[in-house]
Structure 1
Amino acid sequence: MSVIQSANIIIIGWNERSKKLIEILPAISPVKIIIIDHSIRDLPTFAEKVVHIRGNSMHDGVLQEAGIKQAGLVFITADMHSTEHNSDSRSIISLLAIKSLNPSAITMVEILSEANINNAKRAGADEVIYTSKIFANSVIRSFSQNSLENQR
């Protein structure tokens, strides 16, 4: 049985990536999704089956309210309302709190600054998503394809 099928999924942060996860994950398997975010009061109506915990994911009490001990998978998205440094710091502190409360949870963390990739790994991230590299690779791939098509 996969992690997605066996436990709750917690998503930290409300943004376009969170919305996309909410669309995709239930199609894979029926799961309970919990969003932790401090910036919004209520989730949009399309996310009616998602539990929203309003609070700071760096605090143990908020993570416990979200059921961190039952979480099989935790996605930590970057805070787009902060600087890259502050966003990465918040993500890494949240990651440390999550791993201390549930060491077996699989964690995926979005990092904005290349300098913090190793810090996220040292903090226990199972997967580090470096958004800038994904973007750059996509641009290069698109540019290469367009260049090849123009040469024909």
Structure 2
Amino acid sequence: MRKFDGSFSRWPNLFRLLGVIAIFLFSFGMLIHFSEPKTFPTLYDGIWWAIVTMATVGYGDYAPTSDLGRAIGILLILSGAGLVSSYFASISAIAATSEQTYRQGKKKFNGTGHVIIVGWNERSRGIIEELHERNQRLQIVLIDESLTEHPLPLTNIHFIHGKATADAVLLRANIGQADRVLITADLRQNEFQTDMFSILTLLAIKGLKKDLFCLVEILTVEQRENAWRAGADGLIETNRFASDYMLKKLMGELDIAELLDDSNVSLGSPALKNEWVQLTYKELTILLLEEHTVVVGIIRNGKKLLPPPLETKVTSEDILLVMR
């Protein structure tokens, strides 16, 4: 008996409550069967009456006729209604907890053949939206530590909260069944630390699934070889791309007019956001590339800087010239 009590106390609350309800139903079904064998000829009839009474449904197909039977019915109603209410309250609590666990990124992903994207930023947002638009059935898992809640809760994107360098986090993302991984750079840190984190994430992923395709965003030239050594299947060199573009523009090798002839490209002046102020022209160019926008130049005090020096800092009075 002690062994049963010990194990029963470790059951989930809902299972324990169901066990108590089952014992209740069986006990009262047996009581009413033996108290009024003519009205309730079988034990099953007694249990059926107990269920209907306890749930306050009251079909009326079975009803006790003796004083003892009615007393049993009164006792069942007074005690059983609370148990049924507790049961439904427990189900509601489990549903609410499950939803909260999902939104907070604590729920394990059980799908297969999915794409994992590490890091939440404008680049990953754009990639996720594009992937979703191309194939709405594609399962995407986002891993990020900075977010406290799911950034896209009404989509089929699964959010995992935590560091992608931790095995436990990767296992929650079901890394073993993933099809490919994209590791984006965290531009909130300095470039060296960002690349080190990306490479460490790559090592953790390859340690769990060596043949998994991994595409890594690298910011510094010095870490290119380390990323290849760590097992990267492909590299995205954001800074190199931006620098090449800016150099060609600086030397007049990039014909803006030709680009504007493309119907998919337009020139505009977006409202200057507070977080852009004091960024250098180079930093802002890299940042807006995440939004598929190229900074062509700056209008300052009525003068056009096309383009300004790379280290020019953006002020609140500047007007941006961008190309989309």
TM-score computed with the length of structure 1 as normaliser? 0.86
Once the two structures are superposed, the pairs formed by residues 1-150 of structure 1 within 5 Å of their partners are 7-29=113-135, 30-45=137-152, 48-142=155-249, 143-146=252-255
Q: Write the deviation string for residues 16-36 of structure 1: whole angstroms up to 9, x where unpaired.
A: 111011111123333110010
Cα-to-partner distance string for 1:35-91 (whole Å, 9 max, x where unaligned):
100001123347622111110000001000011001111000001221111111111
- Range with bigger deviation, 133-142 or 70-79: 133-142
Identity, % of aligned positions: 38
Q: Deviation per CA, 1:84-142, whole angstroms, max 9, x where unpaired?
A: 11111111011001011111211000011110000000000000111111112333454
Counterpart-to-counterpart distance in 1, 2:172 and 2:158 = 11
Distance in 1 (CA, whole Å) between partners of 2:149 and 2:174 is 19
Gaps in structure 2 of 5+ consecutive residues: 1-111, 259-324
Rg: which structure is higher?
Answer: 2
How many angstroms apart in 2 are the aligned matches of 1:16 and 1:37?
13
Distance in 2 (alpha carbons) for counterparts of 1:44 and 1:63? 19
Query: May I ask how many residue pairs the two structures share in their alignment?
Result: 144
Distance 1:148 1:130, change over 3 A: same
Structure 1 residue ranges (4+ consecutive) displaced by more than 6 angstroms after TM superposition: none
Identify which range, 63-72 or 132-141, moves more after superposition: 132-141
Question: What residue ranges of structure 1 are gaps of 5+ in the alignment?
Answer: 1-5
2:154 and 2:200 map into 1 onto residues whose CA distance is 27
